[in-house]
Structure formats: C-alpha cells, structure tokens
Amino acid sequence: MTICALVAVSAGVASADPGYPTFPPDQNQLPQLPFSEPQIYDLLPIPVPDEDPWYDDPADIASYAPGQIVRSREVQTRVLGIPFPVYTKQLLYRSNDVHDNPIVTATTVIVPGIPWSGSARPVVSFQEAIDSTDSSCNPSHTLQTGTMKESTLVIYWLTQGFAINVPDFDGKFNTFNTYAEGKMVLDSLRAMKNDPGLGLTDSGIALYGYSGGGSGSIRAAELRATYAPDVRLLGTSFGGAPADLVAIAQYATQPQPGVAGTSSFTMWLGWAALAREYSDVFRPEDLLTEEGQTLLKDFEHRCYATIALSGVYRPISDYFQPGKSLEGSPEVMRVLRDNSLGKYIPDTPLLWWHGMWDELIPPSAVVIPTVNSYWERGADLRFYTVPVPEHITNAVTGWLPAVAWTSAVLRGLPPGPKFKADFQPLPPGFPGS
C-alpha cells in the first residue's frame, strides 16, 4: 500500500474521466482506471467463473449436505503464468451463507508428486486475501491463469510434501468479512475429505492466511467446534486481519493523514461486498450521494488492486448525504458487530501476528481488544506484534514464522507455549497505531 500511496501523491489532482465524479480538490487521488482485472481475464482462453457452467448451482442444491461435492475436474495450476508440475483437482461443493441458505463454491486441491508415508499426507488450507468483488478474482480461476497473487507462497509447503487446499471462501458473489467465510473454508475441507481419490480423508490440517485470508482462516477456526467438528484442525496461523469491524469502519470512513490515508479504499470495498449479503441494510441510495453511488458501482466488479488504486485517499464520508453517517445507521452497525471476531473462541492452537504500525488496520483500536478478549477467555493463543511498518510488508515478515509453525504442528510437534507479546511503542492517536 505504500507504493499505492506514493503513486497517488505523485498524481496530484487528476482530471476526471467523462461521466466520472469530480475529485475533491484537497485530496491526492487517482482517476478512474481505464480497465479492471476482469476485463483482462476475459481475454484469456480460460473462461471466467461467471461464464463457466461448471460453477452452476445444481437444481436440487438444498438436498446436498454442507461439504458434499457437486462436481469435480482436473485442471492445470500455473504460477506466474508458468505451468507448475503438481496434480490439481477442483471441487464444487455445497456450503451455507450468513443466513444459512445453501450455496455452492469451489476449492482447488493441489497435491505434489513427493511421496508421503507413515501417515495421511498433511494439508495446509491456504486462504488467499481475495478481497475482491468479482468472481474472476477467485483462486479457482487465477490458479489456472497463473495470476493468483499469493501463489508463490505455497511452494515451500509443497516442497515438504504437504497438500494445499485453496478455497474460494468468499463464494460466487464475493462477500467477505462475514462468518460465511469460515463456513466455506470448513466445507471446502469436508469436500476435500469426501473425495476418496485425493487420499486426504484422514489428514491433519493447518489453516493459513493474511489480511483477508486471515479473516477467513480465523473465522473457520472460531466455527470449527460448532459447525464442523469432523474437520481435524491442528492449528491456525494468520495475521493482518481486521478483528473489530466497527472500529475499522470508523477508522477507514474518515480522512486519515499521510500514508494512513490509503486505508480509505477498504471501506468502499467492504461496502460493495457486504451489500450482497445484506442488501436490505447496506443500501447506497440511503446513505451515499449520486457521486458515491457511481463510485460504488464501479468498485462492484474489480479485484482488490484496482479498487485500492482508485479508492485510496478517498474517504467514503466525503460522499455521505447531508446528515448521514454510519453511526446513524443502527442496522449497519449491527451487521458489523455481528461479524466482528470473538463471537466464538477457537478450540485449536493459534499463531496470530500484526504489525505494530499498520496503516490499513491499526492494531490498538481494531485488533488488540479482541486479542485481549481471546486471551482472557482461554484461547490457545500465541500473539505478537511485528516491529516493522506497513501492511503488505508485514505479510512477508509474518510468513516465515507461520511456515515454520504450521510445518511443525502438521508433523505432530507441539504448538509451543502460549504468549501475548503485544508491544505498542507508538503513542496513542498516532495514525495507524
């Protein structure tokens, strides 16, 4: 996001495209980008999910059990566009949305050619930070095209002989930061176990994810005991996830100084996504001006990168109708509270990290209170803050310990002692502290 901020600052006040809202003169913002990622994917020979009948709902979807496979296929995995020598099978399976309605979504199971003996092959369920509002951004598609942005991170686990499960845990309609994410992760693992040809029925499983991927991972860990006790989960490693959605919404809604202003795009993204599950609550016509509604429509069919580039330094509060606010919408606040972390306490080991200074998700208000609640309620928790600035940088600094820890627990080693090392050297009120 630092790169995004520098580009935005250097752009100055850009002139708007015809028909696009005029930018406030005191903001350093980029113009509407002339393309979106889905438009590029449309040019590739592999059809996008919205145009691929393989993803279609079965006529009798309600008769399927959660995690039951609807259909499957073998595909080619590509990393950075290059075919990768692994066996890859995709499963379309039934899950549930936040309202417990039946839905289908996909997962991609990758098995390396490295032999495994002595036990069932362990599995890392890798939740990518999808954070997008178009199904063509989902990993079941981007793994085939070689455009999955986190694909290189799975290679170290593959070289150890572990299988990888990569679910489309935001579903066909790409709604995120809800507890439906956790259901879809857990049901993807049920589907994986239900396919006898994969040989992973009795596998131990570890969850991994950062940012939006961390959101899906920890929600699955929270729900496992009540929703899917049949999933053998050995541990969850995650970081950079928004815990308190009310606090992050209040932060990202208002203008923030300096690099912290890049957080503005997250509220546009969150609104576009939540409106799909809660269309009666997140109603743009009730809160946003016509300019804001035009922006939101544009953001509804993009992957996160171009949403970020268009949404940084553009607080959604600048587009509220006179007298309107999030706090003035009690149903919006209720949805955010209901989907904030901490509703349940995971019953399996956790490794959780966050940057001391995170310009997108400030730890002191958004993360640490939930960490304290987990700790006080007896979670099997290992939490630390990384003394490195910037959200994406912390994805890298936290990945190495996460790989070491998940590899250990998957091989049967103990998860290590519990600890809570939430150092906070920045003074209260510092942007992103």
Q: What is the residue whose two structure tokens read 């009948």?
A: 53
What's the pLDDT score for residue 299?
86
Helix-, strand-, coil-residue percentages of the chain, each rounded to 5: 40, 20, 40
Please list the ranges in the chain whose pLDDT falls under 70. 1-44, 425, 432-433
What's the pLDDT score for residue 31?
54
> Taking the model in full, what pTM does it have?
0.89
For 293-324, b/e burial (b = at least 16 CB within 10 A) is ebbbebbbbbbbbbbbbbbbbbbbbbbbeeee
CA dist 170 and 107 (Å) reads 11
CA dist 420 and 372 (Å) reads 9
Q: Is 429 left (phi over 0), alpha (psi -120 to 50) or beta?
A: left
Pairing of strands 205-210, 163-167: unpaired
CA dist 290 and 269 (Å) reads 17
For 23-34, b/e burial (b = at least 16 CB within 10 A) is beeebbbbebee
pLDDT tens digits for 256-299?
888 888 899 999 999 998 988 899 999 999 999 999 998 888 88
What's the pLDDT score for residue 111?
96
Q: Which helix (H) or strand (E) holds 143?
A: helix 139-145
Pairing of strands 69-74, 87-96: antiparallel
